[in-house]
Structure 1
Amino acid sequence: MSLEFSPSDETPDFECVIAALDDCACREIIAILEEPMTVEAIAEATERPLSTTYRKLDCLTEAGLAEEAVGVREGRHRKARYVANLERISIGLDEDNELRVDVDYASGASIWSELQGGH
């Protein structure tokens, strides 16, 4: 099985990260994403409706706190999987005394992206 991650070279927006961290459902999803999971598996594990799960995953991926991977084949279609890709989040002041957020990405998340080359 190969997993392909969508590109995300942009630094996440401060407000976007804070909004995701302030959301109980988003934090709950981050806590269970130790390895790639389908949306259906995430919804079942968190006991949330699929529609809510999709919205929260959109918030997490936009904030750069989770990544979407594609690789599970079901018939002729591929199913998206998601994995948390952060190790630590720091909030501090920059040189202009404005709040900024730094996300340290987990080295373990790269193991999933390395699988894409090992068809």
Structure 2
Amino acid sequence: MHDRDAAPDLQTVLDALDDADCRDFVQALEEPMTAGELSEACDVPRSTTYRKLDLLTDASLVEEVTEVRADGHHRSRYRVAFEEIRMRRDEDGELVVRIRRPEPEERGPEERLADIWSEVRRET
């Protein structure tokens, strides 16, 4: 469970971006997809897909959202959680990463509902 506004750890972001499968996932996620859909689209075994998605979510580059379905069988989908990544040196000379997120108003009502439902699931 990650705070979407928190600054991610630089090494975690670099590790995710250094992984070819992770980069392929980010490119494939033009629309939210399930792990199975990503696995198939990128020709990556499903067990590997889950590990790579964990790496991406730890880096705050991808987020898991719950797709609320009328039949009660909700499912997780993954979407890209950034628009831009910047790295710079701070006043102490340390490298820091900043991630620019999509503006909330850019998300449609279905995405906002999925965000709310995902947050409820995290808190329970």
TM-score (norm 2): 0.79
| Percent identical residues | 41
Residue correspondences, number: 114
For 1:71-104, what per-residue CA distance to the aligned partner results, in whole angstroms no more than 9, with x for missing partners? Answer: 1549653221000011111111001000111111
Question: 1: distance between equivalents of 2:115 and 2:46?
Answer: 30
Query: Are positions 1:50 and 2:51 aligned together?
Result: no
Query: What is the 5 A alignment of 1:75-86?
Result: 77-86=73-82
Q: Which residue of 1 aligns with 2:21?
A: 25
Deviates further, 107-116 or 90-99: 107-116
| CA-based RMSD | 2.6
State how far apart, in whole Å, the 2-side matches of 1:30 and 1:60 are: 9
TM-score (normalised: structure 1): 0.82
Q: 2:92: which partner in 1?
A: 96
The amino acid across from 1:14 in the alignment is L
Match of 2:114 among 90, 113, 116: 116
Secondary structure of 2:83 counterpart: strand
Distance of 2:69 and 2:57 partners within structure 1: 22
What is residue 58 of structure 2 aligned with on the other side?
Answer: 62
Q: Which amino acid aligns with 2:112?
A: E
* Unmatched 5+ stretches in structure 1: 1-5
C-alpha distance in structure 1 between counterparts of 2:105 and 2:50, whole Å: 21
Greater helix proportion: 2
SS of residue matched to 2:36: helix
Letter in 2 for 1:114: R
Distance of aligned partners of 1:117 and 1:19 in 2 relative to their CA distance in 1, 3 Å threshold: closer
Q: Which has the higher strand share?
A: 1
Higher relative CO (Cα under 8 Å, sequence separation at least 6) belongs to 1
Distance 1:109 1:68 in 2: 19
Counterpart residue number, 2:11: 15
Letter in 2 for 1:80: S
